[in-house]
């Protein structure tokens, strides 16, 4: 029988200290499942950036991890203000070439493009005033 | 045995402090004995620091045997030289060793540190910006932590051998001599180099002794206090590797330009920094100088002096950071020989997954979560596992028993005694005393 392993996490929008908690847990779970280290690294980046977005922009929300069959799925849902222009959010401040951007750290618009870069499949839906849903999928075996 | 530490079971009180302090959770108490998983031990010495009964030691060879062996070459980690003496002087301890009959090869060793710094600088310059930062491989405990917990970062490791090893190679190549070599080490991780060399197939060190051991005998024999007006340290650059930031400063000096680096000392800082690198958050940084011990090797668990005092001594040294023309030429020649380069690859150490098969691992993970919710979650360690979570994990792997948890044991006893109590209230259908009476009665009726 092949089934999926699912775990979910609540991300508190007021708990700035707790940023990184969900992604740390996700990393630990993937390690115990014996997922290869490269995939763990990518999943950890996706989870971390998604978690940051939840706390900074979404006012908190929930995240879930689903492993198998065939892929790792990370879902982040919030009921925050939403993103007015998704295309813009995906490109703003994005540059792999410029170290300056990275040096600026949080809020430099690295989050979403970084998630996309580390996902095999990526889906972002958002409605202003209602919230945002982010789905990222990382394939266990690339064909 | 590959371990840098050994437990003296006779002194151990099984207080569980060590197993709970181990950063890689390499320790358990099993059948009344502290067990260390060789694979997971990185030699940081945290367990030695916390043990109230001094039951854990750094593995070492006998200093008495080493000091009597005239055919032995003795070399020390830089932190050794500032364990005693007045500030700004480092010659005294080398003099003590010389008086014991050991040859002073510090010229070779200090040149090897110059060479390592130069080679690291070159590796940094050769890398594309997106392949940076490089991570120092000087602290063997950090190296092992990366192999264990951050295999993805192995490609960031600098491929330059320990300057202590390079120094011996250089001495051997130059003199053509082949005596055995002993190292005076500041920690289990360095003593572990002997059996687990980093980036090479075989270590140059045939024997290891710890700093504390050597210093203690030197002091007790009145041999550690003499200050000779001799500048043993020559330029002193290499000694600064014992202090946080010293390596970076040395590398920058050979590069002739400032280096964007982060220096992290202490387990917690190192772990946080490596996590951040894994998340891709250190974009503009060129070098990470990580040391498992607070302040650097001065804080090694097998040193004898207060790390604050040795820090003062190092800070007061007169360091000449500029390499002169001859030094530079000699280094470039040596650089071309590849003496410094890793000759064996650094490999990831097996990750401890719950099972090699992902479906089986999922089943076990579910089981682990179930078990965990029934445990008290106070991480008392009485079960012999470092935390309730580790207990749940081991149980899910099929190792240990749930009743090793004293709370679970108490629950079982309560359940059992409730059952016994209930049973006590029940009367059998055929109690012997009643039977006779009944039988009598029935017999009476029948009559
Ligand atoms: S810290 Fe570890 S080795 Fe020391 S007494 Fe306690 S259980 Fe034994
Ligand atoms: S920092 Fe130095 S003394 Fe401490 S573990 Fe690393 S090599 Fe050993």
CB A110 within 8 A of CB A102: yes
Residue A88 pLDDT greater than 60, yes or no: yes
Q: How would residue A109 be classed by pLDDT, with cut points 50, 70 and 90? A: low
Would you say B353 and A33 are in contact if contact means Cβ atoms under 8 Å apart?
Answer: yes
Contact (CB<8Å) A33/B362: yes
Provide the 3-class DSSP secondary structure of residue B265. strand
User: Which residues of B, range 99-158, sit inside 8 Å of A by Cβ?
Assistant: 129-130, 151-152
pLDDT band at residue B123 under the 50/70/90 scheme = very high
Q: How confident is the model at residue B108 (pLDDT cuts 50, 70, 90)?
A: very high
| B309 pLDDT above the threshold of 70 | yes
Q: Provide mean pLDDT across the span B411-425.
A: 92
If DSSP codes are grouped into helix, strand and coil, which group holds residue A58?
Answer: coil
Distance CA A14, CA B54 (A): 45
Exposure string of A84-94, with b = 16+ CB inside 10 Å and e = fewer, is eeeeebbeeeb
Nearest to A53 by CA among A127, A96, A113: A113
Question: What is the mean pLDDT of the segment spanning B354-369?
Answer: 92
Taking 90 as the threshold, does the pLDDT of residue B61 lie above it?
yes
Residue A105 has pLDDT above 80, yes or no: no
Query: What was the pLDDT predicted at A101?
Result: 46
- The pLDDT of residue A111 is 80
The confidence score (pLDDT) of residue B422 equals 92
Cα B444 to averaged position of ligand 1 atoms, centre (Å): 74
Q: In this predicted structure, which of B10-24, B108-122, B348-362, B432-446 has the lowest mean pLDDT?
A: B432-446
Q: How far apart are CA B101 and CA B67, in angstroms?
A: 8
Answer yes or no: do B354 and A67 touch at CB < 8 A.
Answer: no
Confirm if B5 and B26 have CB atoms less than 8 A apart: no
Instruction: Report the distance separating Cα B93 and Cα B80, nearest Å.
Output: 8
pLDDT at position B263 is: 97
State the number of CA atoms in the 13 A half-sphere of B190 facing the CB.
32
Q: What is the pLDDT of residue B388?
A: 95
Rg (CA), chain B: 29
Cβ contacts of A121 within 8 Å, gap of 6 or more: A135, A136, A137, A139
Report the pLDDT averaged over residues B79-84.
Answer: 90
* H/E run at residue B165: helix B163-175
Residue identifier of the C-alpha nearest atom 2 of ligand 2: B297
Of all helices (H) and strands (E), which one includes residue A10?
A: strand A5-12
Mean pLDDT of B328-347: 91
Sign of torsion, CA B266 B346 B118 B189? positive
Q: At residue B87, does pLDDT exceed 70?
A: no
Average pLDDT, chain A: 82
Q: Give residue B441's pLDDT.
A: 57
Contact B362 A105 (CB under 8 A): no
Q: Tell me, what's the pLDDT at B233?
A: 60
Does position B304 have pLDDT exceeding 80, yes or no?
Answer: yes
Cβ-Cβ contacts under 8 Å for A24 (sequence gap 6 or more): none
**CB-defined site of ligand 1, < 6 Å:** B 7, 12-18, 34, 50-51, 53, 55-56
Q: Shortest Cα distance from A45 to chain B (angstroms)? A: 5
Q: Per-residue pLDDT for B21 more than 50? A: yes
How would residue B443 be classed by pLDDT, with cut points 50, 70 and 90?
A: low
Q: Is the overall model pTM greater than 0.90, yes or no?
A: no
Among B8-12, B57-61, B90-94, the minimum mean pLDDT is found in B90-94
pLDDT tens, position by position, B187-212:
999 999 888 888 898 999 999 999 99
Which positions in chain B touch A37 (Cβ < 8 Å)? 151-152, 348, 351
Q: How far, in Å, is the centroid of ligand 1 from the Cα of B376?
A: 23
Read off the pLDDT of each residue in A55-75 and give the average, rounded to a whole number: 89
């Amino acid at each position: 029988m092949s089934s999926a392993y699912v775990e979910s996490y609540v991300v508190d929008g007021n708990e700035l200290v707790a940023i990184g908690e969900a992604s740390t847990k996700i990393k630990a779970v993937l390690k115990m499942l014996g997922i290869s280290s490269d995939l763990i690294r990518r999943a950890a980046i996706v989870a971390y950036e998604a978690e940051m977005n939840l706390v900074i922009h979404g006012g908190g929300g929930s995240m879930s991890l689903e492993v198998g069959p065939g892929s790792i799925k990370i879902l982040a849902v919030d009921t925050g203000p939403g993103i007015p222009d998704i295309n813009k959010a995906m490109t703003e401040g994005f540059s792999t070439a410029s170290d300056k951007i990275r040096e600026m750290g949080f809020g430099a618009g690295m989050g979403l493009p970084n998630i996309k870069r580390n996902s095999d499949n990526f889906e972002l839906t958002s409605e202003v005033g209602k919230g945002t849903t982010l789905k990222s999928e990382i394939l266990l075996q690339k064909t | 045995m590959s371990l840098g530490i050994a437990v003296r079971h006779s002194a151990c009180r099984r207080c569980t402090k060590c197993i709970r302090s181990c950063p890689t959770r390499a320790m358990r108490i099993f059948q009344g004995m502290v067990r260390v998983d060789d694979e997971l031990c990185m030699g940081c010495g945290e367990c030695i620091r916390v043990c109230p009964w001094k039951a854990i030691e750094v593995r070492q060879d006998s200093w008495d045997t080493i000091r009597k062996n005239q055919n032995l070459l003795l070399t020390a980690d830089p932190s050794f030289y500032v364990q005693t003496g007045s500030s700004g002087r480092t010659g005294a301890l080398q003099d003590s060793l010389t008086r014991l009959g050991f040859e002073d090869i510090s010229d070779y060793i200090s040149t090897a540190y110059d060479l390592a710094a130069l080679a690291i600088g070159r590796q940094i310059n050769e890398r594309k910006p997106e392949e940076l930062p490089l991570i120092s491989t000087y602290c063997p405990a950090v190296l092992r932590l990366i192999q264990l917990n951050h295999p993805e970062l192995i490609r960031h490791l600098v491929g330059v051998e320990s300057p202590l090893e390079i120094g011996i190679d250089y001495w051997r190549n130059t003199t053509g001599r082949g005596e055995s070599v002993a190292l005076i080490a500041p920690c289990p991780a360095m003593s572990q180099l002997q059996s687990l060399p980093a980036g090479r197939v075989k270590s140059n060190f045939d024997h290891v002794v710890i700093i504390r051991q050597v210093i203690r005998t030197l002091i007790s024999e009145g041999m550690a206090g003499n200050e000779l007006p001799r500048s043993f340290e020559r330029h002193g650059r290499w000694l600064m590797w014992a202090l946080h930031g010293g390596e970076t400063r040395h590398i920058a000096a050979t590069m002739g330009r400032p280096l964007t680096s982060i220096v992290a000392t202490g387990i917690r800082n190192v772990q946080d920094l490596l996590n951040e690198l894994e998340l891709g958050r250190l974009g503009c940084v060129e070098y990470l100088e990580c040391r498992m011990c607070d302040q650097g090797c001065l804080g090694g668990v097998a040193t004898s002096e207060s790390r604050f005092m040795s820090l003062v001594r190092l800070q007061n040294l007169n360091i000449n950071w500029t390499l002169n023309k001859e030094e530079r030429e000699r280094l470039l020649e040596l650089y071309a020989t590849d003496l410094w380069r890793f000759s064996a690859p650094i490999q990831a150490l097996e990750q401890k997954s719950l099972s090699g098969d992902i479906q089986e691992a999922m089943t076990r993970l579910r089981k682990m979560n179930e078990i965990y919710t029934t445990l008290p979650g106070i991480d008392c360690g009485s079960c012999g596992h470092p935390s309730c979570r580790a207990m749940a994990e081991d149980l899910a792997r099929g190792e240990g028993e749930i009743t090793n948890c004293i709370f679970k044991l108490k629950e079982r006893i309560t359940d059992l005694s409730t059952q016994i109590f209930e049973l006590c209230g029940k009367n059998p259908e055929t109690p012997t005393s009643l039977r006779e009476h009944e039988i009598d009665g029935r017999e009476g009726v029948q009559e």
